[in-house]
Structure 1
């Protein structure tokens, strides 16, 4: 069984450009049953990182994504899988499944 690390970077406050979108925490909660149902042969490990909280124990990789969000290069919620960028801002199912189908399932 393949193992995939899923990280959702977000905040309690909704992104200014994502007013009608779900919150970062909602996306985090929504992803788990969705991916388990669609990809039963992949073992997903989920992590939620609040970009506004204490970031002392994060990797340089995580801090780079947070810095890009703070500089408005990327938006939150931001999703990575196995440290690769998947989607940010207004998250849709198709973005997630396309990434998995192209990068993970067909490897």
Structure 2
């Protein structure tokens, strides 16, 4: 593996208006962490949930959280190494493809 990646799930306690029948950002965060761990065992990654209405003081995270709100993005918004890889209803296939660009492999 080349690099341990950073995945951030941006969202809020309340669902976005256009995402009523979808899982919450917290549920997506938990589901995504579990799915990636199963697909790429023993290949560590950092995953973080950021509340877009109460972001941490870290400039990069807070700046993107503000962007999600201002641009009315469908959340949860998932970023991988700062690149948006999912919005509203993220697709595992897309996220897996991006992880594999960083050297993650499902073949033990």
**TM-score range, shorter-chain basis?**
0.7 to 0.9
Equivalences, count: 103
Q: Once superposed, which parts of structure 1, at least 4 consecutive aligned residues long, lie more than 3 Å away?
A: none
Greater strand percent: which structure?
A: 1
- Conserved in 2, the CA contact under 8 Å of 1:6 and 1:79? yes
Shift of 1:58: 2.0
Secondary structure class of the residue paired with 1:42: coil
- CA change 1:52–1:37 in 2 (3 A) is same
Gaps of 5+ in 1: none
CA distance in 1, matches of 2:31, 2:99: 16
Measured on the aligned residues, the alpha-carbon RMSD in Å equals 1.9
Partner of 1:45: 46
Shift of 1:41: 4.5
- CA change 1:99–1:46 in 2 (3 A) is same
Question: TM-score, normalising length from structure 2?
Answer: 0.81
- Conserved in 2, the CA contact under 8 Å of 1:4 and 1:42? no
> What does 1:10-29 correspond to in 2, within 5 Å?
10-29=11-30
Question: TM-score, normalising length from structure 1?
Answer: 0.82
Partner of 1:4: 5
Per-residue CA distance 1:39-81 (angstroms, 9 max, x = gap): 124211111111111x35122x323322221123522101111
